[in-house]
Structures are given as structure tokens and as C-alpha cells.
Amino acid sequence: MFNITKLKKKIRSFCRVISVIPTILLILGSFYIIVSDDLLSFIFSVIFPLLFILNLIFGIYWLFKKSKYSVLALIGLIIFFFKFDSFFQFNNENTDSDKESISIMTFNTENFGLVSGNIVNDRYKQVIDFINAQDVDVFVIQEFWNKGMKPFTKYPYYFLAYRQDIEKSTQIIFSKYPIINKQYIDFDGTNNNAMYADIAYNGEIIRIYNLHLESYRLDAIHQLNNPKSYSALVKRIGKAEKTRKEQAILVKNHIDNFNGKAIICGDFNATQFSTSYNLIKGSRKDSFIESGKGFGTTFELYKYPFRLDYILADDNFEITSHQNFEVKLSDHEPVIVKLTLN
């Protein structure tokens, strides 16, 4: 005879197991991602916001039920916040400081929408118009079109990372202030790269880094609806994770050896939970954490929000504003930050 009581008990047991899975994954992932640089660490770095939200929902549910599982959920939340900054920010409206500020923008322009150097739509002009309209003091671009300097007449100083004999994705730093020193930080075996320029600003020297860490190669990722591409996709993600960590260590060491004021900008191709981001960030200030709002989305994949583009500053600076955009002029969105010298 069918026993409805036993069925209800089984359902409740199953629901309890399901409800603690996000907490267990949140705790395990928080530790695993620190010591690893493989496919699993990538997955954790992507799904942490979902795990956090599910853990919070189940935790509140078990709290109302006065269940011991609410304690486990609380432990998960504490560990998460101990390890990471929040992925959603509630900072107050940005206010202008009495001190003179320097404004900086980072933008991966996806080559201005050009195809093989040819203008195929009006996105090229829209990107130029957008950048000029912001009128920032310094801006850095990843995936720059190497013949695109002329439209930016307000910026007499620039460092174009283009070398005819070296195949790299083109980057550039534009500045209204004099550039007194500049150099590359070359990543081996990849088109991605890093660069920096020392800028003379009000009697101070500020080093501006422009980073473009290892890409996932989106032509592969966009084949998620093609099962035959899964094997190549998995290998590519795993390889990119390891390569990006190596690049992050190289950049970190370079920054640590610089005894001066530094601002790090660029497309990290990694979330804020990733090893590569945290290696570079260290104790530096993340403009979004300091002054941003919402999710700070700079990239979307199948409507899922990612924050992959960053501006980090050392303790010599106070971050007074952080602005995200939704201009849809590239696969990435720009970020603009204002900073003052302490």
C-alpha cells in the first residue's frame, strides 16, 4: 500500500540536501579557487554570485524554520565575505571632491568595430564620439585600431603599443599630461600584452598600466549550443586560466618593484573572484568596490553579467567616483573613474 508519510519524509530529506549544496559549494569554492587555476576554478569564479544568492535564500528559509542548517548557511556567508568583496555595491552618489582630480577611462573597443581595418558600420564613429564626449584626462584602450590616433586631438601625448615585427593585440594610452617614460610588459606565446606609461601630473609622477590579460577566444565560447565544441572549449578555458595566472604574477612583480604611485587599468578577462584578479589587486583599491553601484557589469554572455574590466589604485589615491556604462559599442563596456592624490 502506498505510504504518503514516507514519501513526504523522502521529499523533505531531498529538499534539505538540495538546500545545503549551494552552501557547501560556496565554502569549498572559496578555498579551492585560491590554490588552483583550472577549469573548476573558472566555474567557481563565474557562479559565485549565484551560489551566494541561493545560500542567502536557503539560509533565511532555515532561519525561519529555526533549523541548524541556518548556521551552516551563515558560516558560508562569513567565509565568502572574509575571502572576497561583494559583487553588488550600494555606494552613495558620487560627489565631487574639493581636491583636483584626475579622470581615467579604460575601454576594450573591439577594434572600433572594424573588420580587417575596414569600416563596415557606423560603430567606428560612435566609439570615437563617445570617447571624445567623456573628455577624461587619461584613457587606455585594449584592442585598438592602430591608425586611430587622429580623431583624438585633445590628447597630445600617447603611447601606442604597436610593433611591426611583433604580433600583439594593439593597445594604447592617451594622456593630456606629458608621458615621460613608457614600456611594454610582454607576455610570451600570446597576442595579449601589457604596457605602462609614466605621466607627469601636477609635479607628481603617476604610472598608468594598461593590461589585456589572456582571452578565452570568444569564437569558441559562443559555440555553447554546439556539443562538438565542448572538448575544445574546456581545454581552451583551462589553458587560459593557467596562462592568465602566469601573466598576473608577471604584472604583480613588475608593479611591486615600482616604488611610486600606480594606477592599474584594463581588461583582465577574469572576474573579481579569480586568482589573477586577486594577485594583481592585492591591497589596492578597486574603483567599483570603493565608489561603484549595482553589479558593475562590463561584459555580458547570454545575459549573464560579468565584471572583467577594472581600475585599481594604490593608497596614494582616493577614488571619488566610478561610472559604468551601457553604450553597446563593443563586447565590453567602458569604465570611468575619478581619483584624487592623498
Over residues 2-58, the pLDDT tens digits come to 567 776 777 777 778 888 899 999 999 999 998 888 889 999 999 999 999 999 999
Domains of the chain with bracketed CATH: 4-84 (no CATH), 91-341 (3.60.10.10)
Of 83-92, 226-235, 271-280, 312-321, the least confident? 226-235
Question: For 34-48, 71-85, 218-232, which range has the lowest pLDDT when averaged over its residues?
Answer: 218-232
Mean pLDDT of 77-93: 91
Q: Please give the angle made by the CA atoms of 113, 185 and 160, to the nearest 5 degrees.
A: 45
The mean pLDDT value for 120-131 works out to 87
Average pLDDT of span 108-127 = 81
Residue 282 has a pLDDT of 94
In 3-state terms the chain splits into helix, strand, coil percentages (rounded to 5) of 40, 30, 30
Kindly give, in sequence order, each residue whose CB lies less than 8 Å from that of residue 15, ignoring residues fewer than 6 positions away: none
Q: Is 91 exposed, middle or buried (0-12, 13-18, 19+ CB in 10 A)?
A: middle
Least confident residue range of 48-62, 153-167, 240-254, 317-331: 153-167
Give the whole-angstrom CA distance, residue 330 versus residue 108.
7
Residues 76-95 have a mean pLDDT of 88
Question: How does residue 120 score in pLDDT terms, banded at 50, 70 and 90?
Answer: low
Residue 217 has a pLDDT of 66
- Using one digit for the tens of pLDDT, what is the confidence trace for 127-183? 999 999 999 999 999 999 876 677 899 999 999 988 878 888 889 999 999 999 999
* Mean pLDDT, residues 259-263: 96
- Residues 104/311, Cβ–Cβ less than 8 Å: yes
Q: Supply the pLDDT for residue 117.
A: 62
